[in-house]
Amino acid sequence: MSNRTAVTEFLLLGFSDVRELQILHFVVFLVIYLAALMGNLLIVMAVALDCHLHTPMYFFLLNLSILDLGSISVTVPKSMVNSLMNTRLISYPGCITQVFLIVVFTATDLALLTVMAYDRYVAICQPLHYERVMNRTACIQMAAGAWISGIVYSALHTGNTFRLPFSQSNVINQFFCEIPQLLKLTCSDSYLSEVGFIAFGVFIGMNCFVFIIVSYVQIFKAVLRMPSEQGQHKAFSTCLPHLTVVSLLVFTSFFEYLNPPSTTASNPDLLVGVLYAVVPPVMNPIIYSMRKKDFKAALQKLIVWRILTKN
């Protein structure tokens, strides 16, 4: 028990020790955070208020935006505060909370992206059965299943990680708490059980990724058989952004979790952390929504409605 309570706080990796660069980091992350908040909140409001967007695709997109809001709010504000206050500290309970929420949002995100790939497969390859297969009840059950599986996996994963003793060091080589970096600090051979959890997560993630790839192979075959070039363009414009988001999430997450252990600070680790924790919540609203005519129309209606309400 004494070993387990030896560490009461952790030291996160900062982007710089130079005060001017710390302020610059705060400003850059503040702009990124506000952009992510604005983009994802616009999606949530537009989908919730416009009945024309009450479709399975936008229902899942709304859930994805909620996940993005949560994931970027877990990591970026704490990093901004640390830079502004010229500190690197995060409390033990704060680290547990970060790890739990990050794993919840990441696991749920991957499950939801898998469901979205299935939605696109049914819409393009089996259009006559789309309304029957992707009905309201089925969509709610799929989204709920994604959230529940993410929460359960995160609870087991986080609990198993923080039962390990941390007494070698309390320096985390990342700007937020994450499990691969925490495992480098443990002084017990019992971390092998946590490696088993990671292996299970990687196995599930690979299955999701393979399912998504197979779905898109079938989608692209169906698209190429379409006689209309306009139909092909519409299908590709819907599917390619989704595949881009999936690839970014999967490859950066796998790189971080499968990266060989190292006890020294690494710039690539920081870069990968930014790529999978900061970039997707900002890019997803642009990739998924801003190019869609129906979403732009809903957004214009929302803006006009707000102006008229104020007047």
As a whole number of Å, the CA-based R_g of the chain is: 21
| Mean predicted confidence (pLDDT) in 123-133 | 87
Give the global pTM: 0.84
The per-residue pLDDT for 302 is: 64
First to last CA, the chain: 63
Matching CATH number, 9-310, of 3.40.1210.10, 1.20.20.10, 1.20.1070.10, 3.40.50.12780: 1.20.1070.10
Amino acid identity, residue 302? L
4 pLDDT tier (thresholds 50, 70, 90): very low
What was the pLDDT predicted at 259? 64
Burial of residue 175 (number of CB atoms within 10 Å: 0-12, 13-18, 19+): buried
Distances (CA, A) of 225 to 63, 124, 127, 213: 32, 11, 14, 19
**Whether the predicted pLDDT of 135 surpasses 80:** yes
The pLDDT tens digits of the residues spanning 13-51 come to: 888 788 888 899 899 999 999 999 988 988 888 888 877
Segments making up each domain of the chain, as ranges: 9-310
Residue 2: the pLDDT is 42
Contacting residues for 45 by C-beta, under 8 A, at least 6 apart: 302
The whole-number pLDDT of residue 47 equals 83
- Name which of 89, 73, 70 is nearest 171 in CA terms: 89
